[in-house]
A and B are shown apart, each in its own frame.
Chain A
Amino acid sequence: MTTFRLGLLRGNIEIKQFMRQRESVIFTLFFPVLLLFIFGSVFKDTIAPGVTFSQYFVAGMIASGLVNSGFQQLAINIPIERDNGALKRLRGTPMSPIAFFIGKAILVFLSMIIQVVMLLAFGALFFHLHLPHSGALWLRFTWLVLLGSACSTVLGIALAGIIKSGRGAPAVVSPFVIVLQFISGVFFVFSSLPSWMQQFSALFPLKWLTQGMRSVFLPANFASQEVAHSWEIGKIALILIAWLVAGTFLAMRSFKWSRQ
């Protein structure tokens, strides 16, 4: 059987295992929608002419959804699978590691699609989210989602290699993601953060991903409210690609099939 077909079978098994764990389905898929509801309902202020905070927040939550489905999910589940012997068992079979990663990518892709669709639907229905009105914006949205997911996936695998135990993984990963959301312009308007915090968060991809999502979902003239007074689309693409390359390298270096 070819590695690609085996990868599809791995994807099927990954999805089955994921969907049968109620906690993981709720935590991974519904948590961002829940947050959207809470924040969107509480903060209804207008932050610029024609832009409410809830619209701003939905754009950020879509970026966070990519972090959730890739980074957070893999950095928590891979250490658990390493602890319970799943990875070691696979390593003892002729299955190519490439098939294993194809399977993981399929799972991430599926949960990413589900989250993005739910966030878009709830955002549009309840929080005045304007769906992109031009083909160019949809195109930008698509590459942001794909590049963002890919970054999120490889960085999740890279972090999984550093985390020592599956039991401790959520305690390491979740605060990391939450802090990143606070300083990257998801929970607060980015331009209102202290400048040292803005500069620090600019080191990480989430800040750029949220900015890209705002360029898709907020009115074009909101660009003037950004820190750089521009959406910086080219810079976003370059930084995400740099993180993707670095993350792939780190993931290949740090991945371990068993504890030791």
Chain B
Amino acid sequence: MSAAIEVLDLRKSYGGQEAVAGISLSIEHGEIYAILGPNGAGKTTTVEILEGFRSRDSGSVFVLGSDPGSLGIHGSAWRNRIGIVLQSTSDAAELTVAETVHHFSHYYTKPKDPDSVIELVGLTDKRDAKIRTLSGGQRRRLDVALGIIGAPEILFLDEPTTGFDPEARRAFWELILALKAEGTTILLTTHYLDEAEALADRVAVINAGKIVEIATPETLGGRHLAKATISWSENGATQKKISENPTQDVIEIAARFKGDIPELTISRPSLEDIYLTMIGGKE
């Protein structure tokens, strides 16, 4: 079986500025794939090309075997198999949650049960509330409900938790993981590192329209291979040692002191350190 999404050397410029400058990626069925990068890195442009909203300048794109840039009359059948959660929207303010989810279910050939989708996204209490009365987090959950009502094979999530408080973000992550458990392929863009780490099977870090690295969250930037830095105070100065075997080294250093090593720290680069090095590499 071919990949769910296959992108080769994708390029898109706006007024001479390359927003996407040669991105290639391949996303497997059933995977959560995160595109991580700072604002303006080209995440939304990339995803909107995959969703069929934007044209591209060059490169090849296949989503579920079809080119979203030339769907023609097959567009409806293709859209029946994908779900899209756009960046923040404020539409349908006067409708209720239940009206909206039920209405959208009619667009698809094999929709999920609207009431159980409302339950799944945790809006059962709000089912008869007008959409304009929902909080930001509740609105985003409704967006997801509308994205998954058609039982999509691929779900696109564009910066789904921007503006969430930490508790809402956790709850949202649970929801995304539940969808993965059902077999949905999920492509997620985010500028939150912890989100990519919590959810993604693989992460593509992009910056200035180019992929910096594609890896699992554990191996991103060679983190698992990174050496530890031992730091302590000796002879009135701070000493540092880059170590592959910090336990052994600390025992040796400890032998020189009788008891505690002054100001001892052992550190490995955090994912955040690695990420900041990656996207700040040009500075």
Contact = CB atoms under 8 A, between A and B. Distances in A.
B95 A13 contact: yes
B79 A92 contact: yes
A226 interface: no
Chain B contact residues: helix, strand, loop or mixed: loop
Interface residues of B, number: 29
B241 interface: no
A89 B84 CA distance: 8
A22 B132 CA distance: 14
Chain A interface SS verdict (over half): loop
A199 interface: no
A9 interface: yes
Contacts of B79: 92-94
B95 A16 contact: yes
B76 interface: yes
Interface string B42-57: 0000000001111000
A89 B146 contact: yes
B99 interface: yes
Given A92-B79, A92-B84, A94-B79, A17 B94 contact: yes
Name the residue in A16, A84, A94 with the highest tally of chain B Cβ atoms < 10 Å from its Cβ. Answer: A94
Contact of A93 (B90, B99, B104): B104
Give the top 6 A-B pairs by smallest Cβ distance, nearest first: A85-B89, A86-B91, A20-B94, A92-B84, A94-B80, A94-B79
Interface of B: 51-54, 75-77, 79-80, 82, 84, 86, 88-92, 94-95, 99, 103-104, 106-109, 130, 146, 150
Interface of A: 1, 6, 9, 13, 16-17, 20-21, 81, 84-86, 88-89, 91-96, 257-258, 260
Given A6-B107, A13-B99, A94-B76, 4 more contacts: A20-B95, A84-B91, A92-B51, A94-B109
29 contacts: A9-B103, A9-B106, A13-B95, A13-B103, A16-B94, A16-B95, A17-B94, A20-B95, A21-B94, A81-B91, A84-B89, A85-B86, A85-B89, A85-B91, A86-B91, A86-B92, A88-B53, A88-B86, A89-B84, A92-B51, A92-B52, A92-B79, A92-B82, A94-B77, A94-B108, A94-B109, A94-B150, A257-B53, A258-B53
